[in-house]
Structure 1
Amino acid sequence: MEELPLVLWAHRTTPKRSNGETPYSLVYGIEAVSPAEIHVLTNRTTNLEENEENLHLNLEKYYNKRVKSLVYKVGDYVLRLNSINKVEYEGKMGPTWEGPYIISEAFGNGSYKLETTEGKQVPRTWNGVNLRKFYF
């Protein structure tokens, strides 16, 4: 019975074959500190507050590296996210995007005025997150 916690610990920290990551590292973004490491004074076990801050900075860098900021110019053709405009949900088989629209005015905060290809203004401004570049 005394070995059960050690067996569970080994299971939680053993790398898996599919991705080479432990379940703990997938959840928390760092490797687990084993019970043997707790008694040894290392930078990782003594500076807990600094480690927390470093973990937060690493997660932020990871997120920011993958964020693609899209800036559209006046005259660009874009598609608009359909779920933002529709009052009724059309189900998962409904169209995701609608358009194309033309950017008629660009504001500095990432919002845009749209117009149809016939030149009719679309009501309100639209956030760039809800738009995708359209290529003919």
Structure 2
Amino acid sequence: MTHSRATGHTPFFMVYGAEAILPADLEYRALRVKAYTDQGNKTYLEDTVDQLDEARDVALLRSAKYQQAMRRYHSHHVRGRAFSVGDLVLCLVQSNKNHHKLSPPWEGPYIVAEVLRPDTYKLKDADGQVLTNA
């Protein structure tokens, strides 16, 4: 029932082309329910079927615009980090196998052993053993 900021429509509308009617609206005879007639509904459906593709295209454009704005915000507010040899770093756990939901999402600390290229590092643990991708 809540309009998405990205599309401007409810998910129900995006699927079915009409707004959902809640059981409470039926029970308490909301204005939409009172104004319902079979003949008016048929003409309304014919009109909305023609406009549904246009509404979905507009929603697609709004979604793209929203994603661009989010990407721009993220790029503006997130700082890149570069590590040098000898820095201590934590690694994100790639597999949740044998982990429960309260397990820490990070493992380490590891020491940067070598900078292979920007944002790519060779790491070693506290014992000096170089980590390999398992």
TM-score (norm 1): 0.45
Q: If each structure's helix is expressed as a fraction of its own residues, which one has the higher value?
A: 2
Which protein is bigger by CA-based radius of gyration? 2
TM-score (norm 2): 0.46
